[in-house]
Amino acid sequence: MSELKNDRFLRALNGEAVDATPVWMMRQAGRYLPEYLATRKDAGSFMDLCRNTELATEVTMQPLERFDLDAAILFSDILTIPDAMGLGLYFEPGEGPRFKKTVRTAKDVEDLPIPNIESDLGYVTDAVSSIRKELNGRVPLIGFSGSPWTLATYMIEGQGSKEYRHAKGMLYGQPDVMHQLLDKLARTVTDYLNAQIRAGAQAVQIFDSWGGALSTPAYLEFSLKYMEQIVHGLIREHDGRKVPVILFTKGGGQWLEHMAAVGADALGLDWTTEMSDARARVGHRVALQGNFDPSGLFGTPASIRAEVGRILESYGPGNGHVFNLGHGINQFANPEHAKILIDAVHELSVPYHNQK
């Protein structure tokens, strides 16, 4: 594999010195880019795009052609695992992901097959290999998966949800069944992420999009416990280099101390947790990633730069910060505003890394 020309992102995750704060954006390859929309149209559907190695590589690279990003992230979806378990993923225009089958009983959980990563999800690892080759050492490649709890909510509800009525009904009413489902998912996610690492992913992120919907005891038992299981099962060194792991629970700022204890290298923060507070609480134990409110990109160039500066100041001098949005970029964001953010991070962060 090619030598990395820019390893700022990996160095920051490991708490090592960098010349400027690295930056990437969740959902950086996506609907806000006109070139992405054109490629998706050519592909036919979102999942056809994910399954087409050449096109998945193309859309992963698109934001890197526009912006001075410090990492690429695999173009895929968190719901590839439930799809590989036979639940029939499809996308309803304007409605988001749906499943043809749901998982709501002990028998449903028992009948769920454990996917064979090579045969059922080989299109993902093929994309990882292809993207690594295309990157040619330009920046590191991030692999990812949804967390067991987040995947379970989609599988039980059959779609996205605001209340998680069926998922929480299982959690409280049939906790043993929920644990069986989460354990099956945790084992699959571990295999899936390890396959991505073997294929060339140089860091991995676990997206716990819906962990913040839980009470503290439920979060610790039904979400964090299974992410810890995954972290402990991951390949942590590959190609002679450490493979950092990032945990991101949206709405999880109140649990940072618990999250920092599970063995990940970095924690993602949404915009509701102040960077200075997070650094004071756990910054000596893990790197921190975040946390610009994606809606801030609807502001003016001046307000975007000001907010970037404020977040950098909140984190303060020193290492261990990866700049990111607090969640995925909005599909209606102006790409020019994304460029302003990325350039501002590099420019305004330099003084924080040059202090004696």
Which residues are catalytic, by number? 27, 31, 40, 77, 154
Strand spans (E) along the chain: 72-73, 89-92, 96-99, 141-146, 203-208, 237-238, 241-242, 245-249, 266-268, 287-289, 321-322
> What radius of gyration do the chain's Cα atoms show?
19
Q: Is residue 191 part of an annotated ligand binding site?
A: no
Q: Is residue 327 part of an annotated ligand binding site?
A: yes
- Tokens standing for residue 78: 């968190």
- Tokens standing for residue 260: 């920092």
Q: Rounded distance, CA 186 to CA 115, Å?
A: 12
Q: Is residue 346 part of an annotated ligand binding site?
A: no
Would you say the C-alpha torsion 250, 188, 164, 88 has a positive or negative sign? positive
Residues 6+ apart with CB under 8 A from 256: 267, 273, 278, 281, 282
Helix (H) or strand (E) holding 173: helix 165-173
| DSSP codes joined into one string, 264-316 | -SEEE--TTS-HHHHHHHHTTTSEEE--B-GGGGGS-HHHHHHHHHHHHHHH-
Q: Is residue 98 part of an annotated ligand binding site?
A: no
Cα atoms in the 13 Å half-sphere on the side-chain side of 1: 24
Is 45 in contact with 31 (CB distance < 8 Å)? Answer: no
Q: Is residue 29 part of an annotated ligand binding site?
A: yes
Q: Is residue 30 part of an annotated ligand binding site?
A: yes
User: Please, what is the Cα angle at 114 between 141 and 230, to 5 degrees?
Assistant: 50
Q: Is residue 314 part of an annotated ligand binding site?
A: no
Paired residues of 159 in beta bridges: 98
Helix (H) or strand (E) holding 192: helix 175-199
Is 148 in contact with 223 (CB distance < 8 Å)? Answer: yes
- Annotated binding-site residue numbers for substrate: 27-31, 77, 154, 209, 327
- Annotated binding-site residue numbers: 27-31, 77, 154, 209, 327
